[in-house]
Amino acid sequence: MTVGQTWPVEAVSVEDSQTGVAIERITDDVANTYYPYFTQPIVSADANFVLLASDRAGAWQLFVRDMAGRRIVQLTDARGVRASGACMDPVRGRVYYFADRELRGVGLDGSGDRAIYACPAGYRPGILSVSSCGRYLAFAYVEDLPVSTQTGKIYSDMAERLYQRPRSVLMRVDVTDGRAQALFGECRWYSHVSIDPTDADCVLFCHEGAWHLVQRMWVARADTQEVRPLIAQKRLLERSGHEYFTDRGVVVTQYAVRDDPRTNAWRHANILVEPDGSNERRFWYDGVQPMHVQTSHAADARMIGDCGPRKDWEQKGPEGWLSLIRLADGRSGMTPLCRHSTGWLDQKSHPHPVFWPGDEFVLFNSDGPVGRDGCGGGRNNAYRARAALPK
């Protein structure tokens, strides 16, 4: 299989049997296929191309779903493609990714693939973020250390990696000439880097690890070298994560607090805050928050999450639903939209829902049977659902 090869895709449409919401499978169910991480852009501005990762080529490579052409197009054919960390410049039609340590860019038809930068040997790069102007990419590279606690289960080695204190450096690279700028570094595990869409000099990054064990969020400025924490946390008692910028440059994080580190009685909220720490607002759930949320393009008060309303972690059933979320009067109100039915086996099967350009649809991943007739199931696929309940 080679760059430029195509696969025809006929969309399969179903309805959710309980809500009546229309759902469309946009991938072909012939291989494991999903879209990369949900905090970075993965749909083109004209809504015609969706960035995908798939193992149909024998190893994980990058593809796009051409919605108008009803096909999937292969973009890469390289060793060590870090597919989950790739991102798309939605306006200029470029995809950026790491192949092992080499940062590369490619067009949406697979043409013009070129090397931009390479991170140093002994380090592994993380998720990419592209500035809205298209000039900069930001990411962290982290010391690649062996671990002894990896069992194959997701997050099994997280505590060990945290306590190893690997050296990490926050980077910004100019894609026009490959010039790299180191913004900050520590003996800490960095992850989740995002560039403010309203200010390319403002970069959000995180200390990785269990959320309640770290001061999670930090902001660095490329123009002044300032670095400061965002939303101070009390270790063991507070946690935040899955942070991202809205289209208007507001930071959103999923937050929780408890009174006693020996209990699991967390109270959950979405926090919205300006990147300078001002205008912090908290919107509390009546129960447990979803695993992941994302904000609509039109309004910061409208969100999508990958769980239904539930009172505690032990309640079964809601974890298979998507919910619309409204932020109002200090509350995060949830309304079930449709079932995603994923098995939650690994990052590739996490729903990671995001709004489609124009907010007409919600895009999500699943490895389960979706909709009334069980569309898909067993393989990873990407779906989109109507973003409103039928009248």
Predicted confidence (pLDDT) per residue in 163-186, tens digit: 999 999 999 999 999 999 999 999
Q: What confidence category does residue 11 fall into, taking pLDDT thresholds of 50, 70 and 90?
A: confident
Residue 204 lies in a domain: yes
Residue 262 lies in a domain: yes
Beta strands 49-54; 61-66: pairing state = antiparallel
Integer Cα distance of 253 and 283 in angstroms: 11
Residue 295 lies in a domain: yes
Q: What confidence category does residue 375 fall into, taking pLDDT thresholds of 50, 70 and 90?
A: confident
**Rounded average pLDDT over 23-41:** 96
- Write the DSSP string, 191-259: EEEEEETTEEEEEEEEE-SSGGGS--EEEEETTT--EEEES---TTTEEEEEEEE-TTS-EEEEEEE-S
Query: Mean pLDDT for the chain?
Result: 96
Residue 391 lies in a domain: no
Q: How many domains does the chain have?
A: 1
Largest Cα separation within the chain, whole Å, is 57
Residue 158 lies in a domain: yes
- With beta carbons less than 8 A apart as the criterion, state whether 330 and 356 touch: no
Residue 346 lies in a domain: yes
Closest to 321 measured CA to CA, from 267, 376, 254, 366:
366
Q: Which pLDDT belongs to residue 376?
A: 75
pLDDT value at 1 more than 90 = no
The SS3 call for residue 46 is coil
Domain that holds residue 220: 6-386
- Cα 199 → chain centroid: 20
Beta strands 361-366; 281-284: pairing state = unpaired
Residue 280: CB atoms within 10 A of its CB come to 12
Question: CATH no. for residue 270?
Answer: 2.130.10.10
The tokens of 97 are what?
């990714």
Per residue in 261-292, pLDDT (tens digit) is 999 999 999 999 999 999 999 999 999 999 99
Integer Cα distance of 298 and 343 in angstroms: 31
Q: Which pLDDT belongs to residue 372?
A: 59
pLDDT value at 314 more than 90 = no
Per residue in 293-303, pLDDT (tens digit) is 999 999 999 99
Residue 1 lies in a domain: no
